[in-house]
Structure 1
Amino acid sequence: MTPYTPPHKPLTRLADVKAKHKGEAEWSEWVVKDETLWSQYIQSAPGSKVSPRFHPDTREWWVILEGEIRFDIEGQEPFVARRRSMVQVPPQTVYSMQTVGTQPAIRFETNIPNATTMYSERPSLQAPGIEFLPVRLGRRPFPYGHNNKPHINLDDLAAADPNYSGSRFIHDDRAVSNIIYGYGSKLPPVNDADRGHYHPESSEFWVILLGTIRYLIEGQGVILANEGDVVYAPRFTFHNPRWWGEGPSCRLAMNGYPDIAHLRYAPH
């Protein structure tokens, strides 16, 4: 079992983060910042824009938790992402976004640690120790690859297939994200003697997209997480998640390896 270090918590409730920033039109809050992935909640006000930019060597992705955001991604028709939408941009692909509608939008943004951002035009940002230089790059937008798609929405996926049980959202050399969808009512009875599994090379965390997910996490006991919440398990920490409740529930898992090893307790 690995100890938790800030900003990481076993459970980060979106409602608590919103309460912390009450009265602020725009805010951000780090939730994951380890050696594998960096993720944060970001609230943007209606009309707020993210200027054209790209990452030279890494993929970036978002989950829309509230509101609507219009994305303009190089090579794609513009689209509006809504609640339960998942959006991604591969390396060297220019994108911009704007919060639309009358309500703020909250997105959960994930990057590879220390990802570099390059801008189409010199940004107005002023920060100590940062100098922006004009550069030339033989840029080539990377293909999405591995059946990755610019935009998917959980509601659309579930409506299109009555037997939908999940699918891969992100498949990248340095990260993976899986949609895990189902019904707690269809699972066997809870067995808390089953510790689940752990990962030796990467943390794992989950954004709850729908309903409630029950977790048994080593050293933390039972956790119930709801839509918009984030649950985090460090490396070497046993965890056993399951769908919970009568209706459908869904978690979006993220970790650092496309075929991550699952180690289970095996007493002799």
Structure 2
Amino acid sequence: MIHDTGRHRRIAACVLAALTLTAQAPRPAPPPQVEMWVPKKTPYAAYDAPNRPWWKLADVLALHKGATDWSQAIVRNRDLVADWHQQAPGKRTAEVAYADNRTAIIVWGGHLRVTIAGHPTFVASKGFEIGVPLRVPFTLETIGDQPALWFEIHAASDLPLYPVESTSGRPGDVSGFRYERRLVSGGAGAPDATNPLYVDYYKDVVQGGARATAFVAAQHLFVNNIRGRATPTPPASNLGHFHVGYDEFWFVMEGNVDLQIEGEPLITAAAPGDVLTAKQGRWHRASFGGPVGQMGTRVAINPYPLGLHGYSVQSGGRQ
């Protein structure tokens, strides 16, 4: 990991120390389960473009073969949007902020110089998970001789805000909105114990042994690292659970994932960089695949840190 300042090295050490302490802390007991009449969407929600049960990274890259700068929409639902972005060496994104929600970024290729206002600049490479606080301007600059590739997640309602001093003229309007020069209030967000500025996942967790935890757990956005060992794929009778009011998707970070979604063929061996989605109200059950005992990580993404899970009464819950 490359750092730009001594201060940043100290902050990184503090982040790692916090992660290590978290890894040593006992996990809280799960809340009790109770039986209720739960509304399950019928018929269950369909997949509308660009949403798919399984977006393979290999297919995304093939769609943009030969291009250096591109974006690809992956998730669009009423709560969240997520896209792949690739940016050529030497280029930099416009400085933007987002009004009311954090931004989550998973870096997957090349090197990005990440500048988040009020914080030390750092360089992120594959496996960095970044949580940009709300209302804080940031830019991503590709450094080195290779394009940078990253996965970026926003609340569906968020549109970019452009700081006047770093913007040349009025930004172009978007459908239904006209950009106007105004004063804004409400204060800027900040990193905290449950929302770190970044995690170097492969260094801190895979190599360093820190516990895999959420790196964004805030209003309208939950981005949670789930890590475990590969096991034989459970039988189809194990339905898993469903969510009453929202879609859920997963970014495969390590190893591979098997996923059973109601109404879809069983997905086996989703690879790192692939994105899987279970639509609202569909039973789904994820497990880690590959050789038994191999470690895997799926990054679960949805709008609610305390989202409701509906389980089969016959199963006894928590599958």
Q: Common fold, TM-score beyond 0.5?
A: yes
Match of 1:200 among 224, 228, 244: 244
Match of 1:4 among 47, 55, 66: 47
Tell me if the contact between 2:233 and 2:289 (Cα under 8 Å) persists in the aligned partners: no
CA distance in 1, matches of 2:247, 2:168: 34
Within a 5 Å distance, the mapping from 1:1-268 to structure 2 comes to 1-121=44-164, 122-123=167-168, 126=172, 131-138=178-185, 140-156=187-203, 157-161=205-209, 166-184=212-230, 187=231, 190-224=234-268, 225-246=270-291, 247-267=294-314
Alpha-carbon offset, residue 195 of structure 1: 0.8
Tell me if the contact between 1:73 and 1:96 (Cα under 8 Å) persists in the aligned partners: yes
Q: TM-score, normalised by structure 2?
A: 0.78
For the residue of structure 2 that corresponds to 1:177, the secondary structure is strand
CA distance in 2, matches of 1:11, 1:175: 21
Q: Which ranges of structure 2 fall in alignment gaps of 5 or more residues?
A: 1-43
For the residue of structure 2 that corresponds to 1:49, the secondary structure is coil
Please tell me the residue identity of whatever aligns with 1:258.
P
CA distance in 2, matches of 1:139, 1:46: 36
Alpha-carbon offset, residue 190 of structure 1: 2.6
CA distance in 2, matches of 1:77, 1:110: 22
CA distance in 2, matches of 1:180, 1:149: 17
Please tell me the residue identity of whatever aligns with 2:208.
A
Q: Which ranges of structure 1 fall in alignment gaps of 5 or more residues?
A: none
Alpha-carbon offset, residue 51 of structure 1: 2.3
The change in CA–CA distance for 1:123 and 1:131 in structure 2 (over 3 A counts) is: farther
State the Cα deviation string for residues 171-211 of structure 1 (Å, max 9, x = none): 11111111011210xx4663221011111111100011112
Alpha-carbon offset, residue 75 of structure 1: 2.3
Please tell me the residue identity of whatever aligns with 1:259.
L
CA distance in 1, matches of 2:272, 2:150: 13
Alpha-carbon offset, residue 253 of structure 1: 0.5
The change in CA–CA distance for 1:26 and 1:171 in structure 2 (over 3 A counts) is: same
Alpha-carbon offset, residue 128 of structure 1: 6.9
CA distance in 2, matches of 1:82, 1:109: 14
Q: TM-score, normalised by structure 1?
A: 0.92
- State the superposition RMSD in angstroms: 1.9
CA distance in 2, matches of 1:50, 1:101: 16
Please tell me the residue identity of whatever aligns with 1:244.
G
For the residue of structure 1 that corresponds to 2:266, the secondary structure is strand
The change in CA–CA distance for 1:138 and 1:165 in structure 2 (over 3 A counts) is: closer
The change in CA–CA distance for 1:267 and 1:160 in structure 2 (over 3 A counts) is: closer
Please tell me the residue identity of whatever aligns with 2:50.
P
State the Cα deviation string for residues 140-170 of structure 1 (Å, max 9, x = none): 2212245211110211222222xx5521111
The change in CA–CA distance for 1:142 and 1:266 in structure 2 (over 3 A counts) is: same
CA distance in 2, matches of 1:90, 1:230: 24
Alpha-carbon offset, residue 11 of structure 1: 0.2
For the residue of structure 2 that corresponds to 1:158, the secondary structure is helix
Tell me if the contact between 2:113 and 2:140 (Cα under 8 Å) persists in the aligned partners: yes
Alpha-carbon offset, residue 114 of structure 1: 2.6
The change in CA–CA distance for 1:49 and 1:203 in structure 2 (over 3 A counts) is: same
Higher relative strand content: 1
Please tell me the residue identity of whatever aligns with 2:309.
H
Tell me if the contact between 1:84 and 1:155 (Cα under 8 Å) persists in the aligned partners: yes
| Percent identical | 26
Q: How many residues align?
A: 264
